[in-house]
Amino acid sequence: MADYGEDLIEQILLGPTVFKDEAPLSIEYIPSRLPHREDELALLAHLFRSILERPGSTGQRVLITGLVGVGKTVIAQKFGMDITNAAKQRRIKLHYIHVNCRECKGSLFAVLMKVIEKFKGHFPRRGFSSEELLRTIMNILDEKDIFLILALDELEALLEIDHSALYILTRIQEERATEPVRVSLLCMLREPKYLELLDRSAASTLQQNFIELDPYSSSELVTILKDRVELAFKEGSVNESTLEIVADIASIRGDARYAIELLWRAGKYADSEGSMEVKPEHVRKAAGALYSTLRNEYLTTLTLNEKLILLALSRALEENNVAYLSMGELERAYMIVCEEHNYPPRSHTQIWKHIRLLSATGLVSTKFSGKGSRGRTTMIGLTSIPASSIVKCMEASLEARSSKSRNK
């Protein structure tokens, strides 16, 4: 007897689709051109010119800032590809390594381990400090005569956890005054305010080479989307009115990443209906479904205690219809959740440590209380994820864990 699931998959594979290649709609895709960011790419080339003309004579430290979806990551990656290709033509060993600090949970050690693993594959993770890892990297670069552009994406995650991280990275060359300058930094931040977490010298160094990206306008988003449509969709499947509604929705935030994901999801709605055209109604459906949700990769990296804290926070926010909780309010909600799940509650210091880690992953936001509260109280809230969504996800995850424990 044929398996229903297999039959369904075969039926879908044989059905019509508006797509010819979905890869250009993925977040990892680096396009051959970047509309409305040509000037910024040219400026990066000017800033890093000396690395190709006089390798080892000087390093660069450049900061790109801008909100989510304005092109920070893709500009850096496109520039990294272009400059390493130019270096190869000149027989210069230049490596570009892109590290997302949020994925490293704001740990300088984890950032440096990713760099070392690019050169040495497996490397022991214990027994080394961040400074020792950095010296190991410098030794590798010296031995192989390699120059490195280290791109630190979502740098705020690193600065929130370790204020000295950038100082350690910039100081290393001072200890090597007579040696070639091997490392340049290309940093990406959402907001310049995070520079306040740095010491004055490190902050001023980054601010000297500063590129700020403005949100995209609706017309600029249409240009970007047209490029992707040509590569990803079958001819005639996406018309101008569909592109305009996608751009109008996404232009509220000026977010190209959101616009591209919205278009991709609208295409999936078209496929599910057997339509050979992505219509405005498909876009509206996609926009309704495409609010920020907890992704599986977040769930797999959260500890049990972090899940309990998230459940306590989101449940209290939803029940009290507020945007933020004080630390005391969160701790009281956390105690209740721990009791429900027979989990020994952690100390205030440990809870605060987990809050900082959750903030580094982008799930939680923190701020100081404004006028009307005595003193400066830390307030904790959620980012763009609905509290009800997190409650459902955390409860399901904790229940699955309990079921596994009972079945052992």
Please tell me what DSSP assigns to residue 372.
T
- 402 in helix, strand or coil? helix
Instruction: Tell me what pLDDT residue 372 has.
Output: 47
State yes or no: pLDDT of 162 exceeds 60.
Answer: yes
Closest C-alpha among 221, 282, 257, 231 to residue 23: 231
pLDDT band at 2 (very low <50, low <70, confident <90, very high): low
Taking the CA atoms of residue 36, residue 38, residue 41 and residue 42 in that order, the dihedral angle to the nearest 10 degrees is -150
Residue 4 confidence (pLDDT): 58
Which pLDDT score is estimated for 30? 95
Mean pLDDT of the chain: 87
Residue 177 pLDDT? 79
**String of DSSP letters for 227-290:** HHHHHHB-TTSB-HHHHHHHHHHHTTTT-HHHHHHHHHHHHHHHHHTT-SSB-HHHHHHHHHH-
pLDDT in tens, 229-241: 999 999 999 998 8
Query: Widest CA span of the chain, in angstroms?
Result: 75
Average pLDDT over residues 213-241: 95
In tens, the pLDDT along 301-343 reads: 688 999 999 999 999 998 988 878 999 999 999 999 999 999 9
Please name the fold of domain 216-289: Helicase, Ruva Protein; domain 3 (1.10.8)
pLDDT over 70, % of the chain:
88
pLDDT at 248: 86
127 vs 146, residue with greater confidence: 146
**What are the structure tokens assigned to 27, written together?**
């977040």
d(C-alpha 141, C-alpha 145), whole Å: 6
Distance CA 187, CA 176 (A): 22
Residue 31 has pLDDT above 50, yes or no: yes
Residue 173's pLDDT is what? 74
Quick one: pLDDT at residue 40?
A: 97
The tokens for 318 are 């939803």
What are the sequence ranges of the domains in the chain? Answer: 38-212, 216-289, 296-399
**Separation of alpha carbons 216 and 254, rounded Å:** 4
pLDDT at 401 over 70: yes
* CA–CA dist 333, 325 (Å, integer): 10
Q: Per-residue pLDDT tens for 266-309?
A: 999 999 999 999 998 888 888 877 654 455 545 656 889 999 99
Is 216-289 in the same CATH topology as 38-212? no
Looking up tokens 């879908």 gives 12
- Does pLDDT of 101 surpass 80? yes
The pLDDT score that the predictor gives to residue 378 is: 84
How many residues are present in the chain?
408
Instruction: Please report the pLDDT score of residue 292 as a whole number.
Output: 47
Q: Please state which CATH class domain 296-399 belongs to.
A: mainly alpha
pLDDT tops 70 at residue 5 = no
pLDDT of 374 reads 52
Mean pLDDT of 143-167: 90
CATH architecture label of 38-212: 3-Layer(aba) Sandwich (3.40)
Least Cα distance to 138 among 109, 167, 176 occurs for: 176
Q: Is-contact 345 278, C-beta < 8 A?
A: no
Kind and range of the H or E element at 361? none
In 10 A of CB 142, how many CB atoms? 13
Burial 288-300 (b: 16+ CB within 10 A, else e): eebeeebeeebee
Residues 22-31: what's their mean pLDDT?
Answer: 94
Cα 403 to the chain's mean position, in Å?
32
Out of 79-88, 161-170, 172-181, the most confident range is 79-88
Tell me the per-residue pLDDT of 36-58, one tens digit each, with 9 for 90 and over. 999 999 999 999 999 999 999 98
Percent of the chain with pLDDT over 90: 55
CA-closest candidate to residue 249, choices 237, 233, 261: 261
Secondary-structure breakdown of the chain: helix, strand, coil percentages, each rounded to the nearest 5: 55, 10, 30
120's enclosing H/E stretch is helix 108-120
Token pair 């092109």: residue = 71
Cβ contact 184:47 at 8 Å: no
* pLDDT classification of 370: cutoffs 50, 70, 90: low
Q: Answer whether residue 259 shows pLDDT above 60.
A: yes
Is the pLDDT at 85 greater than 50, yes or no?
Answer: yes
Q: How far apart are CA 209 and CA 47, in angstroms?
A: 8
- For the stretch 70-84, pLDDT in tens is 999 999 999 999 999
Contact predicate 167/199, CB 8 Å: yes
Comparing 152-156, 182-186, 300-304, the range with the smallest average pLDDT is 300-304
Contact between residue 155 and residue 187 where contact means Cβ atoms under 8 Å apart: yes
